[in-house]
Structure formats: structure tokens, C-alpha cells
Copies of this chain bind each other. A is one copy, B any other.
Amino acid sequence: MPKSIKDQLLENSILMERELSNCYPTNSCAHNGLLEAQRYGLLGGGKRIRSFLLLHITKMLGGNVDAAIPYACAIEMIHASSLIHDDMPCMDNDDMRRGKASTHKAYGETLALLAGDAMLIKAFEVAINNPHCSSATNSRAVKILTQCAGDMGMLAGQALDTVPSTDNISLEDLIKLHQLKTGQLISASAQLGCLAAGIDDQDEKYKALIKYAQNVGLAFQIIDDILDYNEGKRELNTFTSFMSLDEATRYAINLTEMGIDAISSIDDGTLKSLAEYLIKREY
């Protein structure tokens, strides 16, 4: 019997915890507090969806997972770095993250700011030094990461998200915001998974996987808003402020189905299970 998607995600979390931890050995940093703040913000939690998607795609396309692991670490580092900065008082001002104090509450704002910066740099360091790929491939990986994370990607989404919560934006802008803020890094995961397997961006499989990543990424965000709504949060500029719960749910299901359709001819079932798991999740 094939492993359930839940078990596969759990296995991936354990693998990534070890691999990410190995990127930060005791002597890897010239300042103890800066090392600890990074480890605190990076390790011990998270669903690791991005790295799971990346590594699974490499495997599914017949590539070597070892070659993909440094790219998976880089993606999780960029994501964690953005969360550390996102939680800071000048951004979302969140005291808690994944059931524990956010990094700036645990280590102070100064170290949180520097830890986010250092982790962002480490992501590129780990990707460019990937010992299993050629420098041309690693160079391509850094290009994908800079493009998807930078001011045409994730960071532009974060900037769009700083609209005061009393200002209305359009549904179109809300979709664009999330396509940038979360979608781009999920798309980067799919791109890097293909890259590590030697599949280039002209390949139909590549295009299909990007389409899957984009649709599932947006559905993920809609579910986030629904979960928040069900917890009693009634905020502007969320999918639940533009449509009813039923409509939002249907929208997420539609996106998920389009994503699954795009990859049906190459999927072994796991990507379908992942997409379905993500819209059924309860946290």
C-alpha cells in the first residue's frame, strides 16, 4: 500500500529538519546569538510543503534527490527568513509563530532582523555550493531563487500586503498579492525540482508543474483565509471578504482541480493527494 500523503509529509519534515540543521553547525557562524536566532526561526516546525513539492518533483521525474536537497534547503530558508521579518513589529507584529514565541520575541528585534538577512544570504550560499550539480545548474537555481523571491516576486507581494487593513483593494489585486507573496516561492519549488532532475523550462512537464504549483498555491491561500474566518477573524482584503464561505471553498476546489488536471499525465498520485490534503487541512 502506498504511503499516505500525511506520512510522506511527515517523513519530509524529518528529513528537512536534519538537512537544514546540518546547514547550521556550531562553527558555521561567527556570532552565537546570530546562529541561535537563525536556528530558532528555521527549525522545529513548519509543514515544509515547498521542500516536499520540490523533492517529490525531482524524484517523480527520475532525478537524484541528493541533487535537489540543497535547493530544498534554500527554499525553506528564504521562506523562514521572510517569516522572521514578517512577524516583526514594523510588519505584522506577531508575537507567536507555530505555537512558540516569534524570533524577535525570543531574541530581540535586532537579532531577528540580522538573522533574517543572514538566512536569506545562506539560502543563496547553499544553492550555489550544491556539490551534486554543475555550476551552470547552480547558477540557474540562483537565478530562479532571485527572480521568485525578489521585488518582482515574493517581496513585491509582501509590499502589496502592507496596505493598511482599513483600505479596500480589488479582488484582482488580492489575487495578484498572493500569487506574488506565496505563489512565487511555491512556483520556484516546482522549477527547482525540475532543474535538479534535468528538465528544462521548454519541457511540457515543466509547464504543467508550474501551472499546478500556481493553482495549488492560490488555493492554499484561500483555505488560509477560510480557516481564519472560521476562527472568528473578519478582515478586509481576504478572500472571505470578497465572497461567501461557500464561494471561497468552491473557488479553492476549482483551482485545486485545475492544478491536478494540469499534471494528471505525469503524476503518480502524490501531487493529487497533496493538493487535496492542502484544501482539506484544518490548520
Identify the A interface with B (CB < 8 A).
Answer: 28-31, 33-35, 38, 81-82, 85, 88, 90-91, 108-114, 116-118, 120-122, 124-125, 128-129, 135-136, 138-140, 142-143, 146-147, 149-153, 155-160, 162, 180
Contacts and interface: CB of A to CB of B under 8 A. Distances in A.
Contact of A110 (B91, B113, B116, B149): B91
Contacts of A29: 151-152, 156
Contact of A160 (B31, B124, B129, B152): B31
Given A125-B143, A135-B135, A34 B159 contact: yes
Contacts of A91: 110, 113
Given A82-B117, A120-B121, 14 more contacts: A29-B151, A30-B160, A34-B151, A34-B156, A90-B109, A91-B110, A116-B117, A117-B120, A120-B120, A125-B143, A125-B146, A125-B147, A135-B136, A135-B140
20 contacts: A30-B152, A34-B159, A38-B151, A82-B117, A90-B108, A90-B109, A114-B159, A117-B117, A118-B150, A120-B120, A121-B146, A121-B151, A122-B150, A122-B151, A124-B124, A125-B143, A125-B147, A125-B150, A128-B139, A128-B143
A118 B155 contact: yes
B135 A150 contact: no
Top 6 nearest A-B pairs (CB, nearest first) are A30-B156, A90-B109, A125-B146, A31-B159, A135-B139, A118-B151
Nearest to A29: B151
A117 B38 contact: no
A52 to B, nearest CB: 24
A162 B111 contact: yes
A110 B33 CA distance: 24
A153 B159 CA distance: 28
A75 B139 CA distance: 18
A158 B28 CA distance: 16
A77 to B, nearest CB: 11
A155 B114 CA distance: 7
A82 B112 CA distance: 14
Contacts of A117: 81-82, 85, 116-117, 120, 155
Contacts of A142: 124, 128, 139, 142
Nearest to A78: B121
A156 to B, nearest CB: 3
